[in-house]
Chain A
Amino acid sequence: MLSLILILFCSLFFTGILIRTKSIASGRKGPGILQPVRDVIRLFKKGSVYSETTSIIFRIAPSVYFASVLMACLVIPFGPYKGIVSFNGDFIFFAYILALGKFFTIISAMDTGSSFEGMGASREALYSMFAEPAFFILIGSFALLTGNTSFYNIFSSLHLGSSITYMLGVLAASVLIMIAMIENSRMPVDDPKTHLELTMIHEVMVLDNSGFDLGLILTAGYIKFAMYGAIISGFFISGFSLPWAISVFILIQALFAVVAGIIESFMARFRMSHNPQFILALSSVSFLIFLGVLLVLEKFV
């Protein structure tokens, strides 16, 4: 329960901090931290417009997507506290409930029949496919290290003691940051600010969504960011007492947002054809973590 509350709380500020960091980096004052939330509230007050060529899929997809993200949040623990749902193998549930939401956004984009959205859908499907092994090798390695298969058990039995386990924690955090950037369609893989349909990935898929539906999709995006932040902080907060753990959690989330903002400010996005290479490289970093775990467990003869 605590983790869900903290994730929802952090999601209120996450995108705001990110946008503010970008504004300051480019010498502008920028909007208030809560502006993304205000935008969403405005959208929730509006009705939606539906194209005549779309079917029921287009109408239910935003709700399915939003629900899938919330469901995924349920399994994430917070330090010594279990998530609302916790069972052996819940990280697989986590990955595929997110995939279900993504599947619905993809078919709803195809449903509109627009050539732009089809293009975006094919890109999104491709990149998620490449990002999947990175996530599973990473979490799988930690499952092997701790001998557990649920998020709660993995995190609570993870004791960062020796220098090699700290290395693993840092590597894992960096892989997860990049996976979060990919899954949330941020730079350097996707550019959320662009107005050019031809270069978009996620934005182009939700071009036809409006009003309440768009509000749901944006909110899901904000929550998703904080959710990945929660997984990252899971690697580091297991040893702290509760007040400290909460402060460190919020600090890590804020730091994550600032890092994401700085990445977006000072580099150009990748050429589309370089994206798969980049995402596959994450899998190889995960594989490095796997080898590190084998080393720690002295499985090497």
Chain B
Amino acid sequence: MNFLTIHNQQSVPFYDIPEMTYREFLDGNSSFIEGDRDRHCVLYFGIKEDVYLRLICCIADDSTHNINISSTSVKLDAILDSFSATNLAFEKFEREIHENFGIAYIDHPWLKPVRYPVNGFDKSAKMSEYPFFNIEGEELHEVGVGPVHAGIIEPGHFRFICNGEQILHLEIQLGYQHRGVEQLFLNKTKLLQRTILAESIAGDSVIGHTTAFSYLFESLGGIAVGREVLIARTIAQELERIAIHTGDLSAICTDVAYQLGSSVFGRLRTPIINFFQEWCGNRLAKGMIRVGYNPYPLTAELIKRLNEVLNAFEPDFSEMGLEISKLPSILSRFERTGMLANEQLASIGTVGMSARMNAVERDIRVSHPYGVFSELDHEPIIKHHGDVYSRVRIRREEVIQSIAYIRRMIAMISEESASYIPSFKLRSNMFSISLTEGWRGEICHAAITGDNGDLIHYKIKDPSFHNWLALALSVRNNEISDFPVSNKSFDLSYCGHDL
């Protein structure tokens, strides 16, 4: 199979991407992934070129640290065999292509809408007519939750088919938050506008998305950033992981009505995000990551504060973490709730923390390292049960791990980097892909530039894109009252999915 092989965050001329017939494309990519756990599709998308649709498939190989790119052109009215028939991880990508361009697949298992975008192919398709899966039965009942929820969360509709208290099937319909982010990247031409757009993709993964965006643009512009900038970004990335994981632990405790855990973890999250406020003036770290430079260098004073914050945080966090791992009433709620088998996780293409909960190793920090992760010898934390408790333990251990990494990175800082704004222009006719490991998992940004260096296509994939299906499958045969804690233990993004 004729692939173009690149590294994470490397740019290549767009026309170097090999083009083949759809049959070669389908068979080549399918057989490349088949049977190899280390290979998974990170991005599969289409670009309209007159009456043709250029399909580009990026397959990451975790063992060789490469990304293999191939492409094909099909007519817009084509009827195709689907990847999903043999590899379920493509299911969501193909539904998206179908929805946006009207490509028909003959053997796709379930070709339903992803998010009803306004610029979709079928303008008459309405969210209110979403084709929900139905089961008829005397003793079955349907419970619909949302799209407006009681708590302060984003809109999404969940439809349960239950037998009494037991969930038989859950279908999740999203798309209410669709803002057309990918199109906005093309409409907004100023770099600052685009950076702010990247910060707004998902409010809880500001660093994750903005670093992915920055590395992508630096690669497309052909500029290299200084080591201090890389260290600062990596520290910020790990701090974000600590903050969100801790907040999630608090929310998980709330969902099982464990007040002590809820309030202690809630309190512990605050000093971490307050440190972001001290560092860059925003508790969610908006405004901190900028393309090409670091506007807020880590000064000696800030480093001293960071050390203080972490030293105060760690003992309390460890103590509470120990408490929730030995309290019987907690364990009875967490263990064997929301379980997923290793094979299921691998087949549907789950990424990040949700994949690592049952021995599927997906961690961009080790498989496609960026920033200074290659120097940290990162070892992903892997659990083997796939239940809520595994997800809780991953969070607990990742927080401790991240604290250790931050301490090591602080020691790496040699001098303050000069803060200067490089002038650069995107190189023309280039393709680049950038992967980062946000706290939720693999974040993927890709861009293609045109003849005069303008963006002609921008593509984003949030980890939630695939992981929502993992949530829907994990709650099968659970009690419906255990759904909230399962949901919270995944803590997926609505806006990151809807874009």
Interface residues in chain A, defined as those with a beta carbon under 8 Å from any beta carbon in chain B: 22, 25-28, 115-116, 118-119, 187-188, 191, 193-199, 264-274
Contact = CB atoms under 8 A, between A and B. Distances in A.
Nearest to B165: A272
Given A115-B143, A119-B143, A195 B329 contact: no
B52 to A, nearest CB: 47
B53 interface: no
Given A25-B260, A196-B150, A268-B257, A274 B143 contact: no
A28 B484 contact: no
Contact of A27 (B150, B256, B267): B267
B258 A268 contact: yes
Contact of A266 (B142, B145, B260): B260
A196 B263 contact: no
B256 A268 contact: yes
A194 B260 contact: no
Nearest to B479: A272
Contacts of B165: 119, 272-273
Contacts of B483: 198
Contact of B329 (A26, A115, A270): A270
A115 B142 contact: yes
B259 interface: yes
B145 A198 contact: yes
B329 to A, nearest CB: 4
A264 B259 CA distance: 7
A195 B481 CA distance: 12
Contacts of B178: none
A28 B165 CA distance: 35
Contacts of A199: 255, 481, 484
B144 interface: yes
B255 A274 contact: no
B196 interface: no
Given A25-B260, A269-B256, A273-B165, A196 B484 contact: yes
Contacts of A28: 263
A274 B257 contact: no
B333 A267 contact: no
8 contacts: A116-B143, A118-B141, A195-B151, A264-B257, A267-B330, A271-B479, A272-B479, A272-B481
Contact of A187 (B151, B257, B263): B257
Nearest to B143: A115
Contact of B263 (A27, A194, A271): A27
A26 B141 CA distance: 39
Given A194-B255, A265-B260, 11 more contacts: A27-B267, A28-B263, A188-B329, A198-B143, A198-B483, A264-B259, A267-B329, A268-B333, A270-B333, A271-B332, A271-B333
A195 B141 CA distance: 22
A273 B479 contact: yes
Contacts of A22: 259
Interface string B42-75: 0000000000000000000000000000000000
Contacts of B332: 268, 270-271, 274
A265 B264 CA distance: 12
Contacts of B231: none
B482 interface: yes
A25 B259 CA distance: 9
A194 B479 contact: no
A139 B327 CA distance: 34
A119 B167 CA distance: 13
Given A119-B143, A119-B480, A267 B151 contact: no
Contacts of B484: 196, 198-199
A115 B144 contact: yes
A92 to B, nearest CB: 31
B326 to A, nearest CB: 12
Contact of A191 (B141, B257, B264): B257
A21 to B, nearest CB: 11
B150 A197 contact: yes
A265 B259 contact: yes
A118 B254 CA distance: 24
A273 B151 CA distance: 25
Contacts of B264: 26-27
Contacts of B256: 268-269
Contacts of A266: 259-260
B143 A269 contact: no
- Rank and list the top 5 A-B pairs by shortest CB-CB distance, nearest first: A191-B257, A26-B263, A268-B258, A269-B257, A268-B256
